[in-house]
Protein backbone atom coordinates (compact mmCIF):
# COMPACT_ATOMS: atom_id res chain seq x y z
CA UNK A 1 0.00 0.00 0.00
CA UNK A 2 1.48 3.32 -1.08
CA UNK A 3 1.68 6.09 1.46
CA UNK A 4 2.30 9.52 0.01
CA UNK A 5 4.49 11.91 1.96
CA UNK A 6 5.35 15.49 1.16
CA UNK A 7 7.84 18.15 2.02
CA UNK A 8 7.39 21.81 1.16
CA UNK A 9 8.64 21.16 -2.36
CA UNK A 10 8.42 17.43 -3.05
CA UNK A 11 5.95 14.56 -3.01
CA UNK A 12 7.14 10.96 -2.73
CA UNK A 13 5.79 7.50 -2.06
CA UNK A 14 7.21 5.58 0.88
CA UNK A 15 7.08 2.29 -1.05
CA UNK A 16 9.45 3.71 -3.68
CA UNK A 17 12.55 3.65 -1.49
CA UNK A 18 15.56 3.35 -3.79
CA UNK A 19 18.23 3.24 -1.09
CA UNK A 20 18.90 3.21 2.63
CA UNK A 21 21.69 4.77 4.63
CA UNK A 22 22.67 5.13 8.25
CA UNK A 23 20.90 8.47 8.53
CA UNK A 24 17.86 7.99 6.29
CA UNK A 25 16.17 6.57 3.23
CA UNK A 26 16.42 7.75 -0.36
CA UNK A 27 13.11 8.09 -2.15
CA UNK A 28 12.14 8.97 -5.68
CA UNK A 29 10.16 12.20 -5.54
CA UNK A 30 8.36 14.73 -7.69
CA UNK A 31 9.02 18.47 -7.44
CA UNK A 32 5.95 20.58 -6.56
CA UNK A 33 7.25 24.14 -6.95
CA UNK A 34 10.36 26.34 -6.81
CA UNK A 35 11.92 27.33 -3.48
CA UNK A 36 14.70 29.58 -2.22
CA UNK A 37 15.56 27.08 0.53
CA UNK A 38 18.83 25.17 -0.01
CA UNK A 39 18.17 21.44 -0.50
CA UNK A 40 20.07 18.52 -1.95
CA UNK A 41 18.47 17.10 -5.09
CA UNK A 42 20.15 15.06 -7.76
CA UNK A 43 19.14 13.07 -10.76
CA UNK A 44 18.31 9.41 -10.47
CA UNK A 45 21.52 7.41 -10.96
CA UNK A 46 20.28 4.35 -12.83
CA UNK A 47 23.41 2.29 -12.28
CA UNK A 48 23.17 2.43 -8.49
CA UNK A 49 26.37 2.86 -6.51
CA UNK A 50 30.01 1.97 -7.06
CA UNK A 51 29.85 -0.97 -4.65
CA UNK A 52 27.20 -2.58 -6.87
CA UNK A 53 29.37 -1.96 -9.96
CA UNK A 54 32.39 -3.53 -8.20
CA UNK A 55 30.29 -6.62 -7.38
CA UNK A 56 29.72 -7.31 -11.09
CA UNK A 57 31.80 -10.36 -12.13
CA UNK A 58 33.68 -8.33 -14.76
CA UNK A 59 34.95 -6.01 -12.00
CA UNK A 60 35.94 -8.69 -9.48
CA UNK A 61 39.56 -7.45 -9.63
CA UNK A 62 38.73 -3.75 -9.88
CA UNK A 63 37.68 -1.45 -12.66
CA UNK A 64 39.51 -1.58 -16.01
CA UNK A 65 42.27 1.03 -16.19
CA UNK A 66 40.45 3.53 -18.43
CA UNK A 67 37.30 3.35 -16.29
CA UNK A 68 39.36 3.60 -13.10
CA UNK A 69 40.99 6.81 -14.35
CA UNK A 70 37.54 8.28 -15.15
CA UNK A 71 36.33 7.30 -11.65
CA UNK A 72 39.49 8.74 -10.05
CA UNK A 73 39.03 12.06 -11.85
CA UNK A 74 35.35 12.34 -10.89
CA UNK A 75 35.95 11.45 -7.24
CA UNK A 76 38.86 13.87 -6.85
CA UNK A 77 36.72 16.64 -8.39
CA UNK A 78 33.95 15.89 -5.90
CA UNK A 79 36.37 15.93 -2.97
CA UNK A 80 37.93 19.17 -4.17
CA UNK A 81 34.48 20.77 -4.36
CA UNK A 82 33.67 19.63 -0.81
CA UNK A 83 36.93 21.01 0.58
CA UNK A 84 36.60 24.32 -1.29
CA UNK A 85 33.21 24.72 0.37
CA UNK A 86 34.57 23.89 3.82
CA UNK A 87 33.12 20.40 4.34
CA UNK A 88 34.40 17.02 5.42
CA UNK A 89 32.37 14.02 4.14
CA UNK A 90 33.42 11.59 6.91
CA UNK A 91 32.02 8.44 5.24
CA UNK A 92 33.67 8.03 1.84
CA UNK A 93 33.21 4.51 0.50
CA UNK A 94 32.05 2.82 -2.72
CA UNK A 95 28.48 2.55 -1.40
CA UNK A 96 28.35 6.36 -1.14
CA UNK A 97 29.45 6.99 -4.73
CA UNK A 98 26.55 6.96 -7.17
CA UNK A 99 26.99 5.92 -10.79
CA UNK A 100 25.01 7.75 -13.47
CA UNK A 101 24.98 6.96 -17.16
CA UNK A 102 25.87 9.93 -19.40
CA UNK A 103 24.26 10.54 -22.80
CA UNK A 104 27.26 8.90 -24.50
CA UNK A 105 26.88 5.76 -22.35
CA UNK A 106 29.91 6.44 -20.15
CA UNK A 107 29.68 6.37 -16.38
CA UNK A 108 29.65 9.49 -14.23
CA UNK A 109 30.68 8.97 -10.59
CA UNK A 110 29.14 11.24 -7.96
CA UNK A 111 29.94 11.47 -4.27
CA UNK A 112 26.71 11.18 -2.27
CA UNK A 113 25.23 10.53 1.18
CA UNK A 114 26.10 13.64 3.11
CA UNK A 115 24.35 12.49 6.28
CA UNK A 116 27.59 12.59 8.27
CA UNK A 117 29.19 15.53 6.43
CA UNK A 118 30.33 18.38 8.63
CA UNK A 119 31.51 21.94 8.02
CA UNK A 120 35.21 21.60 8.73
CA UNK A 121 38.03 23.92 7.73
CA UNK A 122 41.78 23.32 7.92
CA UNK A 123 42.78 23.31 11.58
CA UNK A 124 39.28 22.39 12.82
CA UNK A 125 38.63 19.20 14.76
CA UNK A 126 35.66 16.98 15.52
CA UNK A 127 35.13 14.24 18.12
CA UNK A 128 32.23 12.15 16.83
CA UNK A 129 32.90 8.58 15.79
CA UNK A 130 31.35 8.21 12.34
CA UNK A 131 32.15 6.19 9.25
CA UNK A 132 32.28 2.60 8.04
CA UNK A 133 34.79 0.17 9.57
CA UNK A 134 36.66 -0.82 6.41
CA UNK A 135 37.25 2.82 5.46
CA UNK A 136 37.84 4.39 8.90
CA UNK A 137 40.96 6.38 9.62
CA UNK A 138 43.07 4.32 12.09
CA UNK A 139 42.65 6.93 14.85
CA UNK A 140 38.85 6.79 14.61
CA UNK A 141 38.92 2.99 14.49
CA UNK A 142 41.14 2.88 17.57
CA UNK A 143 38.92 5.35 19.46
CA UNK A 144 35.75 3.46 18.53
CA UNK A 145 36.86 -0.12 19.10
CA UNK A 146 40.14 -0.29 21.05
CA UNK A 147 40.82 2.73 23.29
CA UNK A 148 37.27 3.89 23.94
CA UNK A 149 38.00 6.06 26.97
CA UNK A 150 40.86 8.17 25.61
CA UNK A 151 40.30 11.79 24.54
CA UNK A 152 39.93 12.12 20.79
CA UNK A 153 40.16 14.79 18.12
CA UNK A 154 40.05 14.18 14.36
CA UNK A 155 40.68 16.51 11.43
CA UNK A 156 40.03 16.54 7.69
CA UNK A 157 42.69 13.88 7.11
CA UNK A 158 40.03 11.26 7.89
CA UNK A 159 38.59 11.89 4.42
CA UNK A 160 41.97 11.28 2.79
CA UNK A 161 42.27 7.90 4.49
CA UNK A 162 38.77 6.86 3.38
CA UNK A 163 39.47 8.18 -0.10
CA UNK A 164 42.65 6.08 -0.28
CA UNK A 165 40.84 2.94 0.88
CA UNK A 166 38.11 3.56 -1.71
CA UNK A 167 40.65 4.12 -4.49
CA UNK A 168 42.44 0.90 -3.52
CA UNK A 169 39.22 -1.12 -3.55
CA UNK A 170 38.19 0.33 -6.90
CA UNK A 171 41.58 -0.59 -8.39
CA UNK A 172 41.79 -4.12 -6.93
CA UNK A 173 38.24 -5.21 -6.11
CA UNK A 174 39.14 -5.69 -2.43
CA UNK A 175 39.18 -3.44 0.61
CA UNK A 176 42.73 -2.83 1.86
CA UNK A 177 41.93 -3.88 5.44
CA UNK A 178 39.44 -6.31 6.96
CA UNK A 179 38.68 -5.27 10.53
CA UNK A 180 37.96 -8.05 12.98
CA UNK A 181 34.22 -8.93 13.01
CA UNK A 182 33.64 -7.01 9.78
CA UNK A 183 29.99 -6.51 8.85
CA UNK A 184 30.38 -5.73 5.17
CA UNK A 185 29.71 -2.28 3.76
CA UNK A 186 27.45 -1.12 6.60
CA UNK A 187 27.87 2.02 8.72
CA UNK A 188 29.22 1.67 12.22
CA UNK A 189 26.84 2.01 15.09
CA UNK A 190 29.39 3.90 17.16
The more confidently predicted of residues 184 and 167 is 167
The more confidently predicted of residues 49 and 46 is 49
Q: What pLDDT shows up at residue 79?
A: 87
Does the pLDDT at position 109 exceed 90?
A: yes
Q: Greatest CA span in the chain, whole angstroms?
A: 53
Say what percent of the chain tops pLDDT 90. 31
Q: Determine phi and psi for 5, rounding to 5 degrees.
A: -125, 160
Q: What pLDDT shows up at residue 189?
A: 46
pLDDT digits over 120-136, tens only?
Answer: 767 765 667 777 788 88
Residues known to be catalytic: 91
Does the pLDDT at position 182 exceed 50?
A: no
Residue 47: CB atoms within 10 A of its CB come to 14
Q: What pLDDT shows up at residue 37?
A: 54
Q: What pLDDT shows up at residue 185?
A: 45
Q: What pLDDT shows up at residue 22?
A: 53
Least confident stretch, 50-59, 84-93, 144-153, 178-187: 178-187
Give the Cα separation of 185 and 15 in Å (integer).
24
pLDDT digits over 154-175, tens only?
Answer: 777 788 888 999 999 999 999 9
Q: What pLDDT shows up at residue 184?
A: 47
The CA R_g of the chain, rounded to the nearest whole Å, is: 18
- What are the extents of the domains in the chain? 1-41, 44-172
Range 44-172 has CATH code 2.40.50.100? no
Amino acid sequence: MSIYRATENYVYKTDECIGRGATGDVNKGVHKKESAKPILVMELCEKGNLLEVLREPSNAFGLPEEEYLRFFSHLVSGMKHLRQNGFSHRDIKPGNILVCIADDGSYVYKLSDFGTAKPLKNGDFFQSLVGTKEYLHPDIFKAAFIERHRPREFDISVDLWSLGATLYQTATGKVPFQPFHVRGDKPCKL
